[in-house]
Amino acid sequence: MIFQELNNSICKTYLLGCEATGRALIVDPVSTRTDRYLAMLAYHGLNLDYVLDTHTHADHRSACGELSVLTGAKIVRHFTGPQPNADIHVLDGDPLVVGNIELKVLYTPGHTPDGISLLGPERVLTGDSLLVGGTGRTDFAAGDAGQQFDSISKKLFTLPDETLVFPGHDYRGNTQSTIGHEKRNNPRLAGKTRDQYIAIMDNLGLPLPEQIQEVLQINATDVEDSEINYPSICELNKVFQMNAESVLDETGADSSTLVIDVRQDQEFNGELGHIAGAVLIPLNRLAAKTTEFEDDRDRKIITVCRAGVRSTTAAAILTALNFTDVHNLKGGMIEWTRKGFSVERKG
């Protein structure tokens, strides 16, 4: 097996290649380094089958979309990933086969809701869940310290002690560790209870990453910033969030509520379907289309997408454009269908 970290920086991208079959996977590619990745694939004589993001990144633009276009590789993300551009949505325990290399997906949320780790031969790629001597922060992008403690203690720390750990980031020059070493020495985790861990994570006091709102929202929406005026984090935090039950109550046959679904065309009638009566306006066309809704400025509007992330951006955009009563379906169509509420699909 060819296994290589490709960035040689604090932000890690991994190449896994099967020498026997010439098939490959790249994990967490960074957009500014696409040429380097293509050069490494050519150098090793590998064809790229898959590109995978361990989670929605806030610190760098993902190159998954770009690499997929250039190589035909399929984009792999967790089922709860908010992006429109995924070819394969994986769940906990799903296999991923790259030539003769057998990998297994571990769902390890906490840093973000869509976090996965990838278990392979003698090693686990932990994304930004378990780091060397640390853990990924949980103070934005819907992070959850308790969930992260559970992901690490109940999944990653049940792997054999000798399992090699390759993290998504390292800020101190480390390149790898082992599960046993982190169990015994990780200062945030060794000997800590769940409550102690949550207290530690709640008091890190870290500054937000530079350009977080642009990077995070571009990665979550797959819409380049030149096409859209992204709201600030402050504006996003002010969006009224509605749970699926409340949205169901608001969207009966005689309801005057306007439901705007901001996903891509293929998603609207795809696996998750859409809410009956919803109007499809993909996020990148939303601002231009609002002229068609001049009479609805004071009407109740509920925005909808796959995971509730893109639609939060949409709700903030509409609010900034002086629509007065805008709400967001929290958890999006994933949550709606999880509740068993009915959907429509056409075409």
Where along the sequence are the contacts to Fe ion (CB under 5 A)? 128
Q: Which is nearer to Fe ion, 156 or 326 (CB)?
A: 156
Taking the complex as a whole, the smallest distance from the CB of residue 52 to Fe ion amounts, in Å, to 14
Q: Do β-strands 164-167 and 177-178 pair in parallel, antiparallel, or remain unpaired?
A: antiparallel
**Are 50 and 71 spatial neighbours (Cβ–Cβ below 8 Å)?**
no
154: DSSP letter: H
* CA–CA distance, 249 with 270 (Å, rounded to integer): 24
Taking the complex as a whole, the smallest distance from the CB of residue 229 to Fe ion amounts, in Å, to 24
Q: Which is nearer to Fe ion, 17 or 168 (CB)?
A: 168
Closest CA to 227 of 287, 288, 284: 284
* CA–CA distance, 342 with 244 (Å, rounded to integer): 12
Q: Of all residues in this chain, which one has the CB nearest to Fe ion in the complex?
A: 128
Taking the complex as a whole, the smallest distance from the CB of residue 343 to Fe ion amounts, in Å, to 31
Q: How far is CA 340 from the centre of its chain?
A: 23
Q: Which is nearer to Fe ion, 110 or 273 (CB)?
A: 110
100: DSSP letter: T
Q: Which is nearer to Fe ion, 49 or 128 (CB)?
A: 128
Taking the complex as a whole, the smallest distance from the CB of residue 215 to Fe ion amounts, in Å, to 10
**HSE-up of residue 36 (Cα within 13 Å, Cβ side):** 15
Closest CA to 99 of 40, 6, 25, 166: 25
Taking the complex as a whole, the smallest distance from the CB of residue 152 to Fe ion amounts, in Å, to 15
Taking the complex as a whole, the smallest distance from the CB of residue 293 to Fe ion amounts, in Å, to 36
* CA–CA distance, 234 with 174 (Å, rounded to integer): 35
Is the CA virtual torsion 308, 312, 313, 319 positive or negative? positive
Q: Which is nearer to Fe ion, 180 or 209 (CB)?
A: 209
* CA–CA distance, 17 with 256 (Å, rounded to integer): 55
Taking the complex as a whole, the smallest distance from the CB of residue 163 to Fe ion amounts, in Å, to 21
Q: Which is nearer to Fe ion, 128 or 261 (CB)?
A: 128
Taking the complex as a whole, the smallest distance from the CB of residue 28 to Fe ion amounts, in Å, to 9
Q: Which is nearer to Fe ion, 175 or 193 (CB)?
A: 175
Taking the complex as a whole, the smallest distance from the CB of residue 111 to Fe ion amounts, in Å, to 6
Q: Which is nearer to Fe ion, 171 or 240 (CB)?
A: 171
* CA–CA distance, 218 with 288 (Å, rounded to integer): 18
Q: Which is nearer to Fe ion, 114 or 128 (CB)?
A: 128
Q: Cα separations (Å) of 246 from 231, 280, 344? A: 25, 20, 19
What DSSP assignment string belongs to 30-79?
Answer: BGGGHHHHHHHHHHHT-EEEEEE-SS--SSS-B-HHHHHHHH-PEEEEET
Place of tokens 């870290």: 206
